[in-house]
Structure 1
Amino acid sequence: MDDDRLDRGRRRFEELYGPGTADNLIAGQKGLAQDLARYGVEFNFGDVYSRPGLTLAQREMITIGVLVALGGLEPQLRGHTRGALNAGLTPTEILETVIHVVQYSGFPKALNAIKVVTERLEECGAEIPPPLNPAS
């Protein structure tokens, strides 16, 4: 049963991050930390991300919103920004997700997040949309 969860998790994870990335995530940890990474692939991607009802793009949009609201999770936000692009979200949709969350998370978290997201989008070669209301 656990092998099924891990295989399902690998497939879903690799839809977002590319071939071999699930095993690289696990192998990148040392000793018992590999167990935690494997649990993440099994549970997060094998169970939750593999459920029906939401598209992969919708799941990534929600994930970005939650990471922004929690704050302090910049490495995960960077990874999920790339995952959101790979799932088909546009840079505008990703950035608007961060802007939308400001009303719940506050400006410090949203400003920190939008910097991380913008930098990651640029690293991925995405075009950053211009401001709707440029400063005068």
Structure 2
Amino acid sequence: MSDRFDRGAEWFDAVYGEGRGRGLVEQQTGRAQDLARFGVEFNFGDLYSRPGLTLAQRELLSLASLVTIGGLEPQLRGHTRGALHVGCTPEEILETVIHVVQYCGFPKALNAIRVVTDELVLQGRDIPPALGPQP
């Protein structure tokens, strides 16, 4: 592996836990290992390692992007876990989903908030109560 991969794996591990960067590559088969390695090198070695944003800010931005794109539930679950791991609160994560409804629309935001809420529960986190009146 390269220095670029090692740098990426270090940042990946900071978000997801020790050994996860190498584990992502190792769990793939054949050419899929190349794609996973590219992801670790580029996404984490080149982008996450840049100055100017905290890991928590990067994870909230990743969540916002995934919600806006839609249809990326496995990645949304993974980045929800990553956001928790780097110190984001359930409230920050859920408010990120709510905030992007103005850009992506209600269907994508409603689908995403279900995925995120389910993952938060799975991770043993309390779900903040609704702020508005109940129907």
TM-score, normalized by the shorter chain, greater than 0.5: yes
- The 5 A counterparts of 1:93-104 are 93-104=92-103
Deviation of 1:23 (Å):
1.3
Q: Which moved more, 1:126-135 or 1:107-116?
A: 126-135
Return the TM-score normalized by structure 1: 0.96
Unaligned runs of 5+ in 1: none
Q: Deviations over 1:31-90 (max 9, x none)?
A: 011000000000000000000000000000100000000000000000000000111111
* Distance (Å, rounded) in 1 between the aligned partners of 2:97 and 2:111: 10
* In structure 2, distance between residues paired with 1:134 and 1:121: 23
The aligned counterpart of 1:83 is 82
In structure 1, what is the equivalent of residue 69 of structure 2? 70
Q: Who is 2:41 aligned against?
A: 42
- CA displacement at 1:134 relative to structure 2: 3.5
Task: Quote the residue 1:133 is aligned against.
Answer: 132
Letter in 2 for 1:67: L
Amino acid at match of 1:85: L
Identity of aligned residues (%): 66
**2:117 paired residue number:** 118
TM-score (norm 2): 0.97
Q: Secondary structure at the match of 2:100?
A: helix
Question: C-alpha separation between the residues in 1 aligned to 2:10 and 2:121?
Answer: 27
Which runs of no fewer than 5 residues in structure 2 stay unpaired?
A: none
